[in-house]
Structures are given as C-alpha cells and as structure tokens.
Amino acid sequence: MEQQHALDDAASSSSIFVDEWSQLYGGKTPNGKPVPFSKYIASIHSYSRVSDKTFWTEYLKDISPCLLSSHDSPIHRGNLHSTSIQLDYMRNITKFCAAHDITIAIFFKSLWAALLQRLTNLTDIPFGYLVSTQSAPGVEATGSTGFYLNMLIQRLNIDKSTKMTRVLDIIQEDYGQTLTHQFQALEALNASIPSRVFGTLVNHRRNAIDTKETRPLRFEPVEWSDEMDFDIVFEVDESEDNLQATLTYWDDRVEEEMASKASKMFT
C-alpha cells in the first residue's frame, strides 16, 4: 500500500488501518462514529484568523534568518544525504521527560535549539516543526483520515550560557500558546520561501503500528520519504520500545563536517 501526503498523513491513516480495518477483518464493528472531513474544515474556519495572525505577527517580529549556509538560492542545493542516529538511551530519556513533565517531542526540540545555537553562534534561533491539527482545540476530526499536518515555528533567544532547563521551559511554554494559534504561522511570517528564514525542520513521529501486537490483520511500515525544501531536517521516530533519529540534508547547504558534528552530539 502506498500513501501520499497530499491526501493524508501517516498518523491519522495509521489509526484507521490498525484499529478499524483490523476489527472489520476480525468480524467486529469498529466503535465510534467517524467525523466527516467537512467538519474538520468548518472547525478550522471557525478560528479567529485576526487573533491568530496578531499572535504570530508579534511572535515573529524582527525575526532574523537562522541558516546553516550562505547560499540563498533554492535551486542550488546539491545532493540529498541521510544519516541515521541510533538513540540507545530511551529508558533514560523517558525518565528524564517524566521527571521534567515534558514530552519526548519537547525534549528533542530543545536539544535541536541548543545544537543550532552552537552551530550558528546566533542568539535568535528559529526553526520549523510539524504538528497534527487534530489536536487543536475545537477541531473535530475523530475517526477520519486526511491531511492533518501543519507547520509551526519555534523561536527562542538563547546563548551559550543559557541552561538547558531554561530552554526546556521556553519551548514547553511556547508550544502551549502556539497550539491555540496554529493556522496563521506561515502567513504571518510573510516570506515566499519559509526555508530561507529558518533553514531547519524538526519532526517527531510516533509509530502507531505495534508490530508485536497480535491482531487479525497486521500492517508493517516499510519505508517513507518526504520531499524537503529545508537545508536539514531532524526527524525522530518513536515506537513502543525504540527511538531512531535521522538527519537529512543537502550537501551544498550543509557541510558534511557540520552534519557529522550534529549527529555525534546526539550519541
């Protein structure tokens, strides 16, 4: 089976495949009533666009580009490379997140922010990250599959002396605010090519398919790929008992030495 992001995202479709198709295959009727995609669109349009744009305009005011290269042309990107990072300390990471009352996604966004500061030596650090719009307050999207992804922008002012606990607090606080204003971020940025303002993207993916669980019908993820316009994308894939990270970058925009240095900081 092949899926296309233009039609749906992996998270929402996985729940349909794993839960509902498996129940039907086993002769059971799925629980719950699906919400039509039209209700999701209606709930988005019910948001206050003025309030959202006001929030993001202020949040992104006087933002400075945070790029890993001086090339500003989206055409000259070179070749695409991908480096896998095995994260062997899942239990310790999970304990740390529980102790600080944060999610794994917040943890890795905080590490990425600190890494960007070290690599660029800048104090104004913005980067993009993906969220599921199904979790937005007031959105109706239960039991349906579709394109429920949105890109938000994390921005923080830090330097080498900023403690990691402070970085965690900033990103945690900002995340709570941005979730209630998540439909006007790129419009408020007012940039034709967002990747020329923030050159990196963070994406945390939770694998909803448990290959160890016994079901009448089982799906196994084979591979996935995302077209990327950013200089470098840091992706974390979380399953029940494993964490795997991937750095994907264009070699004309990110030097191999810099990518290698970034990888080593996570191991």
Q: What is the mean pLDDT of the chain?
A: 79
In a domain, 4, yes or no: no
pLDDT at 204 over 70: yes
In a domain, 245, yes or no: yes
In a domain, 47, yes or no: yes
* Element housing 58 (H / E): helix 49-59
Contact 48, 183 (CB under 8 A): no
Least confident of 43-47, 136-140, 200-204: 136-140
Q: How much is the average pLDDT of 78-88?
A: 84
* Element housing 166 (H / E): helix 164-178
In a domain, 2, yes or no: no
Which range marks the domain in which residue 260 is found?
Answer: 10-264
Domain tally for the chain?
Answer: 1
In a domain, 120, yes or no: yes
In a domain, 144, yes or no: yes
- What pLDDT was estimated at residue 143? 65
Q: Which residues pair with 244 in a beta bridge?
A: 86, 237
**What residues have CB less than 8 Å from 247, skipping those under 6 apart?**
82, 83, 85, 232, 233, 234, 259, 262, 263
In a domain, 89, yes or no: yes
Q: How much is the average pLDDT of 133-156?
A: 75
Confidence of residue 233 (pLDDT cuts 50, 70, 90): very high
Q: Domain with 253 in it: what CATH number?
A: 3.30.559.30
pLDDT tens per residue, range 155-193: 999 999 999 999 999 999 999 898 888 877 888 887 767
In a domain, 5, yes or no: no
**With the CA atoms of 141, 17, 205 and 148 taken in that order, what torsion angle do they form, in degrees rounded to the nearest 10?**
-30
